[in-house]
Every structure is written in structure tokens, then in C-alpha cells.
Copies of this chain bind each other. A is one copy, B any other.
Amino acid sequence: MVLEAPGRMVMREFPLPAIGTDDGLLKVEMVGVCGSDVGMYQGKATRAPRPYPIIMGHEIFGTIVEVGEKASQRWNLKDGDRAIVEYAFGCGECFYCQQGDYIHCEAMFTYGSMISCKDPPHLWGAYSEYLYLPPRAMVHRVGQDLLPEVGVLVCAVLGNGIRWLQTLGGLCPGDTVVIQGPGQQGLASIIAAKEAGAEKVIVTGMTRDRVRFELAKTVGADQIIDVERDDPIERVKEITGERMADIVLDVTGNPKGAIAAIDLVKKKGTVILPGLYGMDREIPLVLDKIVYKEVRVQGAFSHDFRSVIPAIRLAESKKYPLEKMVTHRFALEEAERAVRVAGGEIEGEDPIKVVIIP
């Protein structure tokens, strides 16, 4: 399913690539629809121009159908194994790749967004029956009984939550954490926070988020704030004895969330912003607030193997009912509708996670 230009998706067939000793091929079983897919479909500005035509899809779960000998060793898997694949893999040679920071690769080698499907091997996105696995792809074998619904959440949802709060956020046991936005990223972040020993996890949302609030409690939220009914600043003051939160994560995608985060965090605290506010969206911040409090505002983007490996183990432990986040399923032919549902364009639908089953 190819995105030829913003707002235009068409089904196309490509020849399967020949697989050598160093690469592989995945049969996609399920792919998640990411908020950034919605932005791509809508033609929103992002960190660089999109190389249309693109096969979207980077929340990937599938089965290995062909794998070269060296690749099999490297990834420690064989034909028939189930696997998840990370979003980014990198060129391997730039300054950032040398440091193991392939998510900041200067060539931006990633699935489903920054490599065109124009040229062979074409299959650079998972809104597709098959996905090409180049030598540097970050492929992880997972338990054969992992639910596809859990598999699609491991990297870009749970792996993100772990990286944002634990690795970048430096969450310490005993911390009080505010998570703004009870969507898929917020829910996974509750889990990441509790697993790292957060004492109190406070989740904020809107009145219409009632179902999400219940799920939030199920996965460990200690306090829920409906910001349409209660003033979150007053409530967090109360809960923390005036000290405010050690870490605030804003996954609302809404500029108001970023603005509120600055008020909810304590002196010397940390605000984590995974953003998606829009590259053309200016957000008015009173910066002197972060000055007097010496707040750290940390941009956060994506996941890597350092957070995906713990995410796999957590998913395999079945400690949390992650699959409950998947509320909508579509066939590959319905990909366009799937993206529009995920984008909130379809009245009456209030999805947490939308997936496509090719």
C-alpha cells in the first residue's frame, strides 16, 4: 500500500527481492498505525522532506520467511521464527551510527518514512505483505506465542515509554511522575514508570478519556486527573505536598500539554517532550519559569535496542494486558481508512491503537 503523495494511497505490487547471505525477508503479520503515519498522510511538515512514494508502517510484527546464513547468525533466528523489527537502523558509518545512535543517523535510514519504495528492494515499509530486512535491520526474535497485538506495541510504544522515562528521563525509584495524555504512549509510559520504581504515577486527560483512564489504572496509574474538571496544578500540588512532580511527560501532542508541563514539574525536575506538535507550530512558553526552577526540558524521539530488549522481556512476561490497547483492526486494503480512524477523522470512533493485518 503506497502513499504516493499526501492524502493519496494506492495498492501496488513489487517483485520480492533476492535474499543473499546477509539479509532477510519478513512476512508482515500485523503493523501498527503510528501518529506520525497520520501526519505523513496529512502532509504535515516533519524533520525532512518525505521521499514519496513511500510504503508507510514501522510498528512491525511478523514471521521470518527467508534469511541468509550470516543474517541468521547475527539475528539469532531462522525461517519460521516470529520477530519484531525496530523503526530505525542507520547507515552504520556516520558520526551518530558509530556511537550506536542509529536513531540519529544522518542518512535517516528508517522503515516506513524516509526511504522511497521507488527503487529495489522497494519493501521499506510494513503496510505491505512483505518487508525487506537489510544487514543492519534491528530484528529481534520473540516468543512464538507472543500476541501480534502485543508484538506491534513492543518497539514504538513500550520501547518508547522505556526510553523516554528511564533512559532519557532518568527516572529514579520513588519519583512522582505526571503523564499527560492517556493514549497508547501514555499507557505504555505508566508501565515504564512503575517498572522503574516510580512511587506515584499521575495521569491527566479529558472527560472523554474515561475508558483510557480505566486502562491506565489497570496498568498502574495511582492518580487520575480529568483536566476538564480539576485544575491539574492544584491537584499535583496537593498530591506532592506542594513540591510538584519529579518528571512530567507530555504525550498529548497538544501545545497546551507542553505549556502545562512546565508548571507541573518541581525545581530541578525534568520535562520530557516527545512532541509531534508540528514542525510549523510555534508554542508560546514562559521560559523564565524553567530558568528559576532550573528545569531540564528534554526532547525525546523514538526507541533503540537499549529500550526494545527490556520491552520484549516485559511483553513476554505477560505481566500487563498490553493487547487491550488495540481497539481497531483493518485489512491492508483498508489502510487509508485505518489511518483516518487513527487520525480521529471518523466520527464516533475513539481508537487507542489502530492496527493493519496484511
Q: Which residues of A contact B (CB under 8 A)?
A: 46-47, 74, 92-93, 95-96, 98-101, 104, 162, 166, 168, 172-174, 192, 195-197, 199, 243, 255, 258, 267-268, 273-301, 305-306, 309-310, 313
Contacts and interface: CB of A to CB of B under 8 A. Distances in A.
A121 to B, nearest CB: 19
B292 A299 contact: yes
B294 A174 contact: no
Contacts of A96: 267
Nearest to A262: B299
A21 to B, nearest CB: 13
B288 A279 contact: yes
A98 to B, nearest CB: 6
Contact of A294 (B168, B243, B291): B168
A173 B196 contact: yes
A136 to B, nearest CB: 9
A176 B83 CA distance: 24
Nearest to A317: B199
Given A286-B279, A286-B280, A287-B275, A301 B306 contact: no
Contact of A296 (B100, B173, B267, B299): B299
Contacts of A291: 273-276, 299-301
A258 B174 CA distance: 29
A278 B173 CA distance: 32
Contacts of A283: 284-287
A241 to B, nearest CB: 10
Contact of A273 (B166, B192, B278, B290): B290
A330 to B, nearest CB: 28
A296 B294 contact: no
Contact of A281 (B277, B286, B294): B286
Give the 8 A-B CB pairs with smallest separation, nearest first: A275-B291, A100-B100, A282-B284, A174-B310, A290-B299, A297-B297, A47-B292, A99-B100
Contact of A301 (B192, B199, B292, B296): B292
B292 A287 contact: no
A299 B294 CA distance: 4
Given A197-B197, A199-B310, A296-B298, 9 more contacts: A46-B292, A92-B92, A104-B293, A173-B195, A174-B313, A279-B286, A281-B286, A291-B301, A292-B301
**Looking at A98, A280, A288, which has the most chain B CB atoms within 10 Å of its CB?**
A288
A99 to B, nearest CB: 4
B268 A104 contact: yes
A101 to B, nearest CB: 7
